[in-house]
Amino acid sequence: MNAEKMRVLKDIIRQLHAGVSVEEARKLFLEHFSGVAAEEIAEAERQLIEKGLKVEEIQKLCDVHASVFEGSVEKNQTKKDVSTVKGHPAFVFIKENEGLLQFLEKQVFPAKMAYSEHPDSASKERLVEAVKELTKLHVHYLRKENLLFPYLEAAGVTAPPKVMWGVDDEIRGLWKKLMIGFSQGGIDELSVLDELIAKIQSMVTKENTILMPLLMEKLDEKAWVTVAKDSPEIGFCFNGGIEGASPSDAVAWYRWNASLGGEPEEVTERGQIGLPSGSFATEELECVLNSLPCDITFVGKDDKVSYFSEGKERVFPRTRSIIGREVANCHPPKSLKVVEKLIQEFKEGKKDAESFWLQRGGKFVLIRYFAVRNAEKEYLGVLEVTEEISSLRNLEGEKTL
């Protein structure tokens, strides 16, 4: 896209944020464009953010942008459309969206209609059960945020991941609000449900028409193999019974392509590691770290993720695609200011540690951050330690050797 067309595209986005109607924005768009590439939309948003437009502002009108550009996003014709290859991570991702839309059509909409016509306990229970199933979306979004976004960020595509992650969190928030409303009252459940459904459907459109073309442009075959390898770690959803999109199809695609191209290269050499108080073989150290009753992640002084442990029971998903990822991109936009402030305080020596905790169901998760410094007090990075401690909180008395 030439500079003039990029200027026009950014101006249309600015006008949307200034309050121009969707119809007027679409008219302006069609006057200047017959089509636009997903990468060009991403670049326009990136430039606007760099010029001061807040991510939260783009996030607010994300659905409006999608409706203006819908049907006009061009596919890259120079690369194979891997989203049509059965078992491929892109194919599975797209088919999950198809399964999600089918679930809305066959389960959520009928339950919503029944409850709106006869709001008794039976119809409410049916609707609550249908909405509960939507929590599976969290798995779909986790794969997107932890496996796919790092590759886009590494390629310089930063705006869409930030904006989409923010909308993902809005969807999670609406789902939680709705479930609390069902149990405690105090909200118009059907109104909140309508808002939730609209955002979910709009996200499907954005993933299919903007995110997927970007991924096919930026990810090479080795990257897709890594995504396929790590995907079962997080899981799948809404893909049951869809030919070529089942977990077994995804694993089969990975095994075949990994055997053709080889496993991703090891990031470290095997050998002996000497420390002041002893030594480890590399294998020993790896197994010791993975045997800890907590997850640890180290972010170097360059603010990039350089290591995480791979224990059997993880609190939060971690995949190897995050190695080298900017720590700011590892957190949703709503948490970014807290993360940046904490790291800055560590760097300035104002703090050495900080703790956070949260409760999820019957689990109590403690998250601790420690500034890592050398003997000269020079800042080397941040160590994150995450542990599920509900069993520890219940300990009483003594148990000795």
Residue of 225, 230, 386 lying closest to 322 (CA atoms): 230
pLDDT (average), residues 357-378 = 92
Instruction: Report if residue 202 sits inside a domain.
Output: yes
Q: How far apart are CA 52 and CA 50, in angstroms?
A: 5
Instruction: Report if residue 267 sits inside a domain.
Output: no
- Do 136 and 254 share a structural domain? yes
Domain span at 65 = 3-74
Identify the three-state secondary structure at position 312: coil
- Do 229 and 107 share a structural domain? yes
Binned at pLDDT 50, 70 and 90, residue 70 comes out as: low
Instruction: Report if residue 268 sits inside a domain.
Output: no
Instruction: Report if residue 399 sits inside a domain.
Output: no
Structural tokens at position 186:
């105090």
Instruction: Report if residue 90 sits inside a domain.
Output: yes
- Do 369 and 325 share a structural domain? yes
Q: What pLDDT is recorded for position 373?
A: 96
- Do 234 and 165 share a structural domain? yes
Sign of CA dihedral 297, 247, 160, 320: positive
- Do 126 and 217 share a structural domain? yes
Q: What pLDDT is recorded for position 261?
A: 60
Q: What pLDDT is recorded for position 335?
A: 85
Give the percent of the chain with pLDDT over 90: 57
Q: What are phi and psi of 102, to 5 degrees?
A: -65, -40
Instruction: Report if residue 149 sits inside a domain.
Output: yes
- Do 363 and 257 share a structural domain? no
Binned at pLDDT 50, 70 and 90, residue 318 comes out as: confident
Binned at pLDDT 50, 70 and 90, residue 77 comes out as: low
From 21, 50, 74, the end of a domain falls on: 74
- Do 151 and 249 share a structural domain? yes
Residue owning tokens 């595209």: 9
* Range name among 28-32, 124-128, 131-135, 338-342 with the lowest pLDDT average: 28-32
Residue 3 identity (one-letter amino acid): A
Give the percent of the chain with pLDDT over 70: 87
- Reported as a single tens digit per residue, the pLDDT across 153-191 is 999 998 889 889 999 999 999 999 999 999 998 899 999
- Do 310 and 242 share a structural domain? no
- Do 161 and 15 share a structural domain? no
Q: How far apart are CA 136 and CA 125, in angstroms?
A: 18
- Do 201 and 122 share a structural domain? yes
Element (H, E) at 62: helix 62-69
Is residue 314 over pLDDT 90? no
From 74, 90, 114, the end of a domain falls on: 74
Q: What are phi and psi of 368, to 5 degrees?
A: -120, 140
From 18, 44, 74, the end of a domain falls on: 74
Instruction: Report if residue 401 sits inside a domain.
Output: no
Q: What pLDDT is recorded for position 30?
A: 67
Helix 109-117 with 121-133: angle, nearest 10 deg: 160
Which CATH number goes with the domain that contains 206? 1.20.120.520
Instruction: Report if residue 270 sits inside a domain.
Output: no
Q: How far apart are CA 124 and CA 297, in angstroms?
A: 43
Domain count, the chain: 3
- Do 94 and 62 share a structural domain? no
Which CATH number goes with the domain that contains 347? 3.30.450.20
- Do 226 and 364 share a structural domain? no
